[in-house]
Structure 1
Amino acid sequence: MKLYIIRHGIAAEKTEYKNDEERPLIEKGRQKTEQVAQCLKDIGIHFDLILTSPLVRAKQTAEILQKNGLSDQLENFSALAPDGDIQEWVNWWLESRYNLDKSCLALVGHEPDLGHWTEILIWGQPQDKLILKKSGVIGLELPVGINPISKSHLFLLTSPKWLINEKLE
């Protein structure tokens, strides 16, 4: 099973909003996320489901992915909010109909959590080594039917700039 982990796009500054949960994407963040979505579509990626943090900037990022034809289904998933628990997602995945060889899922959320989740899925614990840029993408291959913690394989770690530049060349 393929899992794509995607960080939200560039958002408004924290100082501009009283409540961090309400910070939206700025225009540059929308544009870059649109470009990344188009690049993913161009290389044939389609998600069976996009799970997103309930925070505005992550939801907007997920909606851009969906609008660009990357998935027909999008759902909020509270564990993707900052400081969310990966075990909640693992339990969901193990019990879901998406725990299949041919499934392709996307998780949209925040740093440093997404980097930590990736490290846990690969190495079993956070290492503070992987950093996902805004609108960046990580691709993991997860084993089917078993707990994926420390059993997953990294196949993609890219910044949006690399994805966009590769498409143009």
Structure 2
Amino acid sequence: MPSLYLIRHGIAEDRENYEDDTLRPLTDEGRKKTKQVAKRLYDLGLRFDLLQTSPLVRAQQTAEIFTNVFSSPVQQSSELAPEGSFEAWLQWVTEWISQHPQPARASLGIIGHEPDLTTWAETLLWGESKGALVLKKAGIIGLVLPESQPWTANGILFLSIPPKLLI
């Protein structure tokens, strides 16, 4: 069954210091912790066939750190920007998995923002957002998707780790 890992970007600079929120970078501490998290996840055996990231600077920087650790290809998606389209993104995921050489073993890392990532995870799990999941900065949620559609309300949560448990 395909695996989906939802990863929140690392600690970023304060919003009030940037007129354009899309340009906020990671802090030095955010870079350091994100690198520690990525290395620990690698050591635990996680692998990604593809990392897909939001176009915002802090998410791209997080993706760069993960790419350096995992040597995974990275792709940018405007759907992963805040308030992106879940339906459009889910259609892309469906197509990507169907084109994967081993669809049942596909492993996709998604780097984005809150509250979208937990809303999307909950929709894949329960068919709606319940506000039950928490995803800290540089944290990760792992879902297994069923081999066939529909995916919403049919996912299985197998991983939810805050960064403090990985560092």
- TM exceeds 0.5? yes
Which letter does structure 1 place at the counterpart of 2:132?
A: K
Instruction: Could you tell me which runs of 5 or more consecutive residues in structure 2 were left unpaired when the two chains were aligned.
Output: none
Aligned position for 1:47: 48
Deviations 1:46-100 (Å, cap 9, x if unpaired)? 10000000000001001100011x2431000111100111111111111122481
**Which of residues 112, 120, 124 in structure 1 aligns to 2:123?**
120
Q: Contact 1:9–1:32 (CA<8 Å) still a contact in 2?
A: yes
Aligned position for 2:3: 2
Q: Contact 1:112–1:131 (CA<8 Å) still a contact in 2?
A: no
Q: Contact 1:111–1:131 (CA<8 Å) still a contact in 2?
A: no
User: Number of residue pairs matched?
Assistant: 163
Q: Contact 1:116–1:128 (CA<8 Å) still a contact in 2?
A: yes
* TM-score, normalised with respect to structure 1: 0.93
Aligned position for 2:95: 95
Aligned position for 1:135: 138
User: How large is the RMSD of aligned CA atoms in angstroms?
Assistant: 1.1
Aligned position for 2:21: 20
Which letter does structure 2 place at the counterpart of 1:9?
A: G
The percent identity for this pair of structures is: 47
Which letter does structure 2 place at the counterpart of 1:140?
A: L
CA distance in 1, matches of 2:48, 2:17: 33
Deviations 1:104-149 (Å, cap 9, x if unpaired)? 1000000011010000000001111112000000000011232311
Aligned position for 1:84: 84
Q: Greater CA deviation, 8-17 or 93-102?
A: 93-102
1:129 alignment partner, SS class: coil
Q: Displaced runs of 4+ in structure 1, greater than 6 A?
A: none
CA distance in 2, matches of 1:37, 1:107: 13
CA distance in 2, matches of 1:104, 1:58: 19
2:114 alignment partner, SS class: coil
Instruction: Could you tell me which runs of 5 or more consecutive residues in structure 1 were left unpaired when the two chains were aligned.
Output: 165-169
